[in-house]
């Protein structure tokens, strides 16, 4: 997509380093634009040119403010406006005003499938598909068998580095989409209900953090370019669910990697992601680990009555997992019925 010809005089001055002329040219174009996104882009370019002009004049404080204004003006814009690659420009401005002193931010045409973003997304897909293929067609499938993992960690139980090895497996396997269940069960069986639950919680949170950043760094740019407005609608929906809605997602029967990757691609901030993950994962990890540990002890000849409490806790967690979906479905039906009744009432009122 070519940059709109109306921007070229300002761009030519900008590339020559004549920021005053670029500012004046873009201001002139902005006056004749009624479309809000176009005006926002032009005013962002004006702020950028003014920031660089102030920086050259030695007024770093004013330059910093105008630079921040330029970046903020781009935040709500589509990925392309007047042919300009808004995402690329935002990435340039995100480096900060100090970095702009070393390398002037560039204004480039929008490309739907830029090479760098496409290659990074392709590498992410390759990693995920490769992990799934390795689980299905290589000896890794046998290695991740629950009984083998239990035997391995039982052998390593007394080694001081055994918990680190367990955590390392969480961190390595989670980003490629492999199941965490065998590790959770093995940890509960070998390390017991409390230490095992602690290791499982730390391991799942560590794996979630690595998965999040992997998806964010390798996939978000590409997805934003391809999905565009649809991704913005997803982001709006996630914000509407609120903080506790994100916590509740961890209780739903949704695959672990889907939540991690989905949060990163949907633009959930990392602190919010980690806090909601911790609140959602911690109780479920303690319940699952306790149940796995107790079940193993019973299988070895322990008292079966010990299963009552962990089984009740597990049933509670399962109930909590499906309750939000059921409640939402009931509310949808009630809302639909209310709308039907109101529609009939309006018809009768005519």
Q: Rounded to whole angstroms, how far apart are CA atoms 179 and 170?
A: 9
pLDDT score of 315? 62
Q: Rounded to whole angstroms, how far apart are CA atoms 141 and 244?
A: 36
**CA–CA distance from 24 to each of 89, 95, 210, 284, 325 (Å)?**
20, 25, 46, 59, 55
Q: What are phi and psi of 260, to 5 degrees?
A: -65, -50
State the Cα angle at 76 between 62 and 7, rounded to 5°.
70
**CA–CA distance from 164 to each of 90, 144, 156, 187 (Å)?**
39, 17, 11, 12
pLDDT score of 24? 92
Return the SS3 of 107.
coil
Which stretches in the chain have pLDDT values below 70? 1, 112, 144, 146, 225-245, 251-254, 297-329, 332, 348-350
Q: Rounded to whole angstroms, how far apart are CA atoms 22 and 31?
A: 14
pLDDT score of 135? 73
User: Looking at domain 5-102, which of 1.10.3450.10, 2.130.10.10, 1.20.140.10, 3.40.50.200 is its CATH number?
Assistant: 1.10.3450.10
pLDDT score of 327? 63
User: How many other CB atoms are there within 10 angstroms of residue 84's CB atom?
Assistant: 26
Closest among 11, 7, 64, 65 to 39, alpha carbons compared: 7
User: Which class for 55: exposed (0-12), middle (13-18), buried (19 or more C-beta within 10 A)?
Assistant: buried
pLDDT score of 229? 60
CA 293 to chain centroid, in Å, comes to 32
pLDDT score of 213? 92
**Predicted model pTM:** 0.64
What is the 3-state composition of the chain as percent helix, strand, coil, each rounded to the nearest 5? 80, 0, 20
CA 283 to chain centroid, in Å, comes to 22
Torsion angle of alpha carbons 34, 35, 36, 40, nearest 10°? Answer: -90
pLDDT score of 308? 61
- How does pLDDT run across 300-316, given as a tens digit for each residue? 555 555 556 555 655 66
pLDDT score of 90? 83
- 207, 274 in Cβ contact below 8 A? no
The residues spanned by each domain of the chain are 5-102, 116-322
pLDDT score of 316? 61
User: How many other CB atoms are there within 10 angstroms of residue 114's CB atom?
Assistant: 17
Q: Rounded to whole angstroms, how far apart are CA atoms 63 and 297?
A: 67
Token pair 């997304």: residue: 121
Please compute, for residue 166, the number of CA atoms within 13 A of its CA located in the half-sphere on the CB side. 36
Q: Rounded to whole angstroms, how far apart are CA atoms 307 and 4?
A: 70
- 237, 268 in Cβ contact below 8 A? no
């Amino acid at each position: 997509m070519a940059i709109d010809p109306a921007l070229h005089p300002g761009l030519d001055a900008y590339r020559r380093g004549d920021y005053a002329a670029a500012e004046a040219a873009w201001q002139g174009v902005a006056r004749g634009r009624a479309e809000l996104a176009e005006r926002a882009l032009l005013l962002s370019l004006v702020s950028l040119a003014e920031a660089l002009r102030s920086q050259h004049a030695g007024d770093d404080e004013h330059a910093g403010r105008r630079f921040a204004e330029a970046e903020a003006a781009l935040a709500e814009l589509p990925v392309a406006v007047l042919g300009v690659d808004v995402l690329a420009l935002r990435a340039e401005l995100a480096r900060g005003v100090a970095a702009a002193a070393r390398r002037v931010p560039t204004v480039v045409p929008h490309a739907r499938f830029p090479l760098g973003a496409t290659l990074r997304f392709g590498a992410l897909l390759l990693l995920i598909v490769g992990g799934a293929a390795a689980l299905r067609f290589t000896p890794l499938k046998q290695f991740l068998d629950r009984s083998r993992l239990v035997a391995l960690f039982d052998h390593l139980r007394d080694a001081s580095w055994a918990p680190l090895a367990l955590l390392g497996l969480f961190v390595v396997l989670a980003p490629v989409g492999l199941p965490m269940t065998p590790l959770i069960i093995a940890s509960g069986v070998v390390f017991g209900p409390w230490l095992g639950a602690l290791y499982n919680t730390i391991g799942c949170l560590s794996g979630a953090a690595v998965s999040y950043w992997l998806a964010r760094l390798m996939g978000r740019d590409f997805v934003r370019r391809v999905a565009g407005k649809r991704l913005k609608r997803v982001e709006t929906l996630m914000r509407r669910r609120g903080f506790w809605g994100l916590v509740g997602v961890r209780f739903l029967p949704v695959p672990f990697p889907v939540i991690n990757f989905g949060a990163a691609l949907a633009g959930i901030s990392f602190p919010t992601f980690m806090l909601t993950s911790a609140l959602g994962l911690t109780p479920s990890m303690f319940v699952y680990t306790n149940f796995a540990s107790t079940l193993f002890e019973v299988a070895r000849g322990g008292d079966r009555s010990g299963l009552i409490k962990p089984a009740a806790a597990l049933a509670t967690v399962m109930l909590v997992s499906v309750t939000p979906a059921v409640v939402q479905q009931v509310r949808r039906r009630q809302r639909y019925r209310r709308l039907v009744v109101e529609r009939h009432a309006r018809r009768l009122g005519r």
